[in-house]
Structure 1
Amino acid sequence: MRALLLGRTAAALATSLIPTTLTLAVIHAGSAAGALGTILAAETVPMLLLLPAAGVFADRFPARRVILAADLTRAAAQAGIGATLLTRGVDVPVLAALAALTGGAVAFGTPAVRTLVSATIAGPQRQRLNARLSVWQGVAQFAGPGIAGTLMLGVGAGWSSLLTAALFIGSALTLGALRTPAAAAANAASTDAGSTAAPRRAPFWHDLRAGWTETRRHRWFIANVIGHGIWNMTAGVLLTLGPVIAINHLGGGTAWVITLQSGTVGMLAGVWTAGRLRLARPLIAVALGASAYALPLAALAITAPLPLLLAAYTAGMFGLGILDPLWETTIQQRIPREALGRVGSFDTLISFAARPAGLALAAPAAAAVGTALPLAASAVLVGGANLAVLLIPAVREHPAPVAVSSAPLVTSGA
């Protein structure tokens, strides 16, 4: 467990360094804003396109090996970015190509994390592990921009990218000693049950289609994914319009910084609490946690005083902190392990795609109708969509301890 925590924390810190490093490097070089957009898009687009295929890989191959390859690939890409920044400056085509390589590696590594946790820890300890992962990843994400900015001002952005590469290498090395007892126990049980011949692997497209079939089979999963996608989209609206309201009506940029810090405290408190909850129906808490994000959206819509906004944002982020470990644990329990990578990749795809959509839509909407209406509509949307999940019987039921897959990973046919 310690190796997994250490490795994933190092990877999270490295990931959080990347956007700040690239942004500061481009701005410091005086390049046009389009250059930054090109580089960041070069990372995002391959990541989104490759996620469904990456889910198949996460189910076909040992998760530890998939993440190991992904971390080493990201390390190589970041080392290349660091060398480019140190020797050639902001070379947009080269940086965009290396960013695309990074995005592809993110796509393949992300679905495998769930399967790795599932294979490493079984039973009630899994929820505590997910909570610890969320805490340390949250701390890493909070610290990353500050570290990147300090390195940029002190020694240059190139060294920040080289540190990022070193962190990814460190993450990869921790996996070398990692053992997956849960997977070994499952394999032993399969052998004891009479499995003597290695089954032939199904075609790639068959596995991809089977993953989507398995995803559609779980109404509770699809409803939650849609709800989480909506809160990711509304988070883009909040993060775009929130600073505008804070600067114009709440006392300036300092008010917004304080608001973000209060949200970080709330999120970490929620994650810490989630690791200690013992809930028979965790999806109810997941739905309530996601719907709590309506609170800061509503507070901004009515231009609430700063103390009320701080309370609302803290509560909203506390709900998201509760959500993350419980959601991860639930899908690891309810989705068959042999389909977990494929099913989970659709969750990640919706989340990754929704946030940029909110960022893109917020400013034009505010320019057309003002800030209040988009924020109020977002509050109603995120609250309504996630509370509606409670209408699904499977959300309110006690989950079955073992899920049965309708989408087998391998077949015995030709």
Structure 2
Amino acid sequence: MPPLPTTALTRIPGFRRLLTGRTLSMLATCLVPTALTLAVIDSTLSAGDLGLVLACELIPQLLLLPIGGVLADRLPPQRVAFAADLVRGLAQLGIGIALLNGSVNLLYLCVLSSVTGVGVAIGTPTVSPLVTAVVPHEARLRANSYLGTTRGIALVAGPGIVGVMVITIGVGWSFVLTAALFLLAATTLGGLKVTRHERPAGHSTFRGDLAEGWQVVRSHRWFWTNLVGHGVSNLTAGVLATLGPLIAVRELGGDTSWVITYQCGMVGMLLGAYLAPRLPISRPLVATSLGGAAFALPLLTFAVPAPTAVNSAAYFVAMLGLGVLNTVWQTVIQQRFEPHTLARADSYDALLSFAARPLGLALAAPVAATTGNAAVLVVAAVLVGAGSLGLLALREVRTMRFVTPEETAPETVPAAAKTADSS
């Protein structure tokens, strides 16, 4: 599926606005965890209090993501994205004002973190519907590459930006600026003029749409098996995120070793997202399976543990594979699900990812204390390698190709003749 030239993509009406809005929203999202950590420290709360605050943000995401998918399928996605970023912006503004007034407490942080989690659950499933509503079929792989690249930049830059803001203007003002980013993202995305996808004729209830979303996921074996594989990948990523820094500090010379390894991985992820539409990928799910299996490499090198240079190279390859995987996978989902079910399918993808990584973070250290770091890392490597490569046993995974515009049914592609809907 050859992508459009770069100039053609940037000239698509609404794409620059979509890219700008998503970049602002993602950057603000990446600022929140570090800012919350520093806010807890600044408020002399404990590490346990920090865990509670972060849990209060995560739990609404796990509970409400499928509901967010229903909302994004029933309503214009740009309006749902506007509401989600508006909610998150106001929550961050509330935390910032409390910190500036010196009146913040644990309960207050927990409540506003929960509100932030609700915003994440509502906003996350809107991404794919917005892409399909704005970007023509033949340009979506490149569009997802752009979005993946900016997401990677936000992940790399976010903690550093918070650190600079805290040093220069204080932690309270850092939340105010984060709120401003969310509010600007809300305004940008909310103003999108997008193609309105037609829903099937007939009345449907919210509860019925929720049940239908689960049925749609179950009906596509290639989809739910890949979700399981991606969940395993996220779980093992949590294992490495916990044990990798510990091993680097204790056995490989200190913090610098992990910082170098981590930054090499981030560069790899950016490069993977950039290269995805430029690689000769004819079997997309084969590519995503191989990309997921690559994460076994750093797990094995840290199990040794290998020198920093080897760990860095392994993590670079793993994250490069992840960058390709994310970009190609999003494109496949956008091609294979009908527009009126796309957000619900995407919500289950996000749900498994959001749940699996914290589980890996929570389990890695306690289990390693009993079995040793090497055993946990080797088992994680076997799990992610087998879980990803095992997907190739499915015929539909091995044979699936990108859908060309000629092959796509008319009802699954935004028609230019349909009436554009704006907020």
Q: State TM-score, norm by structure 2.
A: 0.90
For residues 336 and 395 of structure 1, the distance between their equivalents in structure 2, rounded to whole angstroms, comes to 19
Match of 1:2 in 2: 16
Q: Is the 8 Å Cα contact of residues 74 and 102 (structure 1) preserved in structure 2?
A: yes
Counterpart amino acid of residue 349 in structure 2: D
Q: CA deviation at 1:95?
A: 1.3
Counterpart amino acid of residue 82 in structure 2: L
Match of 1:44 in 2: 58
Give 1:172-211 correspondences, 5 Å limit: 172-180=186-194, 183-184=195-196, 187=198, 199-211=201-213
Q: Is the 8 Å Cα contact of residues 334 and 403 (structure 1) preserved in structure 2?
A: no
Q: CA deviation at 1:200?
A: 4.2
For residues 409 and 249 of structure 2, the distance between their equivalents in structure 1, rounded to whole angstroms, comes to 50
For residues 270 and 154 of structure 2, the distance between their equivalents in structure 1, rounded to whole angstroms, comes to 12
Is 1:224 aligned with 2:226? yes
Is 1:252 aligned with 2:254? yes
Match of 1:14 in 2: 28
For residues 305 and 316 of structure 1, the distance between their equivalents in structure 2, rounded to whole angstroms, comes to 17
Kindly report the root-mean-square deviation, in angstroms, between the aligned alpha carbons of the 2 structures.
Answer: 1.8
Match of 2:110 in 1: 96
For residues 308 and 357 of structure 1, the distance between their equivalents in structure 2, rounded to whole angstroms, comes to 27
Q: CA deviation at 1:404?
A: 10
Q: Match for 2:96 among 66, 78, 82?
A: 82
For residues 201 and 84 of structure 1, the distance between their equivalents in structure 2, rounded to whole angstroms, comes to 45
Aligned residues: 394
For residues 114 and 234 of structure 1, the distance between their equivalents in structure 2, rounded to whole angstroms, comes to 26
Match of 1:347 in 2: 349
Is 1:314 aligned with 2:316? yes
Q: Is the 8 Å Cα contact of residues 89 and 179 (structure 2) preserved in structure 1?
A: yes
Match of 1:408 in 2: none
Q: Is the 8 Å Cα contact of residues 3 and 178 (structure 1) preserved in structure 2?
A: yes
Q: Which moved more, 1:269-278 or 1:332-341?
A: 269-278
Match of 2:74 in 1: 60
Q: Is the 8 Å Cα contact of residues 132 and 275 (structure 1) preserved in structure 2?
A: no
For residues 138 and 283 of structure 2, the distance between their equivalents in structure 1, rounded to whole angstroms, comes to 14
Listed as ranges, the gaps of 5+ residues in structure 1 are 191-197, 406-414
Q: Is the 8 Å Cα contact of residues 81 and 190 (structure 2) preserved in structure 1?
A: no
Secondary structure at the residue paired with 1:124? Answer: helix
Q: Match for 2:129 among 84, 107, 115?
A: 115
Q: Is the 8 Å Cα contact of residues 294 and 380 (structure 1) preserved in structure 2?
A: yes
For residues 176 and 328 of structure 1, the distance between their equivalents in structure 2, rounded to whole angstroms, comes to 22
Between the aligned residues of both structures, percent identity stands at 50
Is 1:127 aligned with 2:141? yes
For residues 206 and 89 of structure 1, the distance between their equivalents in structure 2, rounded to whole angstroms, comes to 44
For residues 222 and 403 of structure 1, the distance between their equivalents in structure 2, rounded to whole angstroms, comes to 23
Listed as ranges, the gaps of 5+ residues in structure 2 are 1-14, 412-423
Match of 2:42 in 1: 28
Q: Match for 1:285 among 287, 297, 315?
A: 287
Match of 1:303 in 2: 305
Q: Is the 8 Å Cα contact of residues 141 and 327 (structure 2) preserved in structure 1?
A: yes
Is 1:361 aligned with 2:327? no
For residues 403 and 389 of structure 1, the distance between their equivalents in structure 2, rounded to whole angstroms, comes to 27
Match of 1:194 in 2: none
Q: Is the 8 Å Cα contact of residues 270 and 319 (structure 1) preserved in structure 2?
A: yes
Q: CA deviation at 1:403?
A: 7.0
Closer, same or farther: CA 369–404 of 1 in aligned 2, 3 Å? farther
Closer, same or farther: CA 54–222 of 1 in aligned 2, 3 Å? same
Is 1:136 aligned with 2:150? yes
Q: CA deviation at 1:393?
A: 1.2
Match of 1:73 in 2: 87
Q: Is the 8 Å Cα contact of residues 270 and 320 (structure 1) preserved in structure 2?
A: yes
Q: Is the 8 Å Cα contact of residues 25 and 181 (structure 2) preserved in structure 1?
A: yes
What is the CA deviation profile of residues 345-395 of structure 1, one whole-angstrom value per residue up to 9, with x for unaligned ones?
A: 111000000001001100111100110000000000001001011111111
